[in-house]
Amino acid sequence: MSKRPDIQSLIDEIAEAVKPEFGKGKVADYIPALARIPGDRFAMAVCAVDGSEWRTGEALRSFSIQSISKVFTLLLALETIPPDELWERVGREPSGTPFNSLMQLENERGIPRNPFINSGAIVVTDAIAAHSASPVPHLMNMVRKLAGNPGIIIDEEVARSEEDHGHRNAAIAHFLKSHGNLRAEAHRVLHLYFRQCAIAMSAMDLARAFLPLANEGVVPSSGEQRFPALRVKRVNSLLLTCGLYDGVGNFAFRVGIPAKSGVGGGIVGIIPGKYSICVWSPELDELGNSHVGTAALELFTRKTGLSIF
């Protein structure tokens, strides 16, 4: 609170300022467990590399992290298999197509554009599944440690629902398999993919878990070099270019930081050398990014004058 800028006052002010934006987006409704979340929820949590933390709204309430999990699985895959092996199977370019598109995958013969669209994330998940006998505990262990919260769980209702309604993802997995870009059995990879999407975390958990990405890979509280600095630079670059589905250009224009969104309404952003920020608000814009969350992050970077540009 004694810091400059005064982050607590700022995020409280932002929570007020975004109120007129509620009702303009739409809560994800492809599964009932997400469709019933009230649209007017809001949370913001900020962690600083010096260990300070701030929060406003429902920052301790868990929500479905959905595609934000793709960052955790990418980080896990990059320490599980040689990076060159992974990058032969998935690209590093923005897709310009919806996150669950099959069309581009067909044109590009089963090599997904990047690890943050569903097809790319399914390849990344496959890389983990092919190298671990128990990939779910492996992933959960990583997530819990990063967030410093052993109580983080998978929401089983969401996981089941994802599985029951995941026809497009199943199509993507089988399509990848037909192109030789899936090592494990499709049903095994999908089981893990649906479970990673169903991890429930709070905004505070997510801001804490992402803090090493703002600190060249070092966990500030312990001094541990959790990820190599070069890997962090690369993952942040991918977040900047691919982290917001096909809304990534507009998000970069408005907010100007690497970030990852999920259809549960969460967005986690990184201000390198300074902060990790998570905002949660479930109403989505037409591209699947939190409408109010984007507005809140835009206000944050404008009012602090902090972005990567």
Q: Which residues are catalytic?
A: 67, 70, 193, 245, 263
- 248 part of the interface to ligand GLU, by CB under 6 A: no
- 288 part of the interface to ligand GLU, by CB under 6 A: yes
Rounded Cα gap, residues 133 and 136, in angstroms? 9
- 125 part of the interface to ligand GLU, by CB under 6 A: no
Candidate residues 80, 114, 125, 169; the one interacting with ligand GLU per rule CB under 6 A? 169
- 100 part of the interface to ligand GLU, by CB under 6 A: yes
Please, what is the minimum distance in Å from the beta carbon of residue 71 to ligand GLU? 12
- 161 part of the interface to ligand GLU, by CB under 6 A: no
Interface of this chain with ligand GLU, residues 177 to 216, rule: CB under 6 A: 197
Hey, what amino acid is at 9?
Answer: S
In 10 A of CB 32, how many CB atoms?
12
Ordered DSSP codes for 89-118: TS--S---S-TT-SHHHHHTTT--S-TTSH
- 243 part of the interface to ligand GLU, by CB under 6 A: no
Rounded Cα gap, residues 118 and 124, in angstroms? 10
- 73 part of the interface to ligand GLU, by CB under 6 A: no
- 301 part of the interface to ligand GLU, by CB under 6 A: no
CA angle (80, 124, 250) in 5-degree steps: 125
Helical spans, DSSP H, in the chain = 7-17, 32-35, 69-78, 83-87, 103-107, 118-131, 135-147, 156-165, 167-178, 186-197, 203-210, 229-242, 248-254, 291-304
Q: Tell me the site size for ligand GLU, rule CB under 6 A.
A: 11
Please, what is the minimum distance in Å from the beta carbon of residue 157 to ligand GLU? 13
List contacts with ligand GLU (CB under 6 A): 66-67, 99-100, 118, 162, 169, 197, 262-263, 288
